[in-house]
Amino acid sequence: MSNPDYRLNEDMLWIAVDLDNTLAEGIWTPVNPTPEIGPPIKANVNKCWQLVYAGFKIVIHTSRGWTDYERIEKWAIKNSIPFSLIVCGKLLARAYIDDRNLDVNRFSWIPEDYDGHRIQRISIAALAERGNTETGSKAD
């Protein structure tokens, strides 16, 4: 039975995005917990920018410990990853089963149930002007 007082606020604008294997190429694993962070996954960085342009706030949410916070912050800034918050230390598990999960490979990460009243359509050309293309090169 659902609780009528528990509803997702349609104005909820926070989107949690994983670091390793989502924003960054996977180097860190539970078996090899290196502090190094892989190169950014440009297509997913572009999806984050699309979310930001639509009015969402990005939370980088990682299983890494808080000792990696500054490294993550510097990496995100260096690689022009938009974020409002970094949260370290989520439960380390083999898999997460979540009713709000979006496939990392979707074309867009804007939630399908979002009414779009704030969405500005962002073209690949607009992202290229920012220098966030698949190749990472800035358009002239």
* DSSP output for 21-71: TTTB-S---SSS--S----B-HHHHHHHHHHHHTT-EEEEEESS-GGGHHH
Residue ranges covered by each domain of the chain: 14-92+105-130
pLDDT reported for residue 72: 97
Report whether pLDDT(125) > 50: no
- Average of per-residue pLDDT across 102-115: 75
pLDDT reported for residue 3: 52
Question: How many whole angstroms separate alpha carbon 81 and alpha carbon 39?
Answer: 12
pTM higher than the cut 0.75:
no
What is the sign of the dihedral through the CA atoms of 40, 93, 34 and 58?
Answer: positive
Report whether pLDDT(93) > 70: yes
CATH assignment of 14-92+105-130, among 3.30.1330.200, 3.30.930.10, 3.40.50.1000, 3.40.50.2300: 3.40.50.1000
Among the residue ranges 41-50, 70-79, 87-96, the one predicted with the least confidence is: 87-96
Report whether pLDDT(45) > 60: yes
Among candidate residues 39, 29, 48, 41, the one with its CA nearest the CA of residue 110: 48
Buried b (16+ CB within 10 A) or exposed e, 32-54: eeeeebbebbeebbbbbbbbbbb
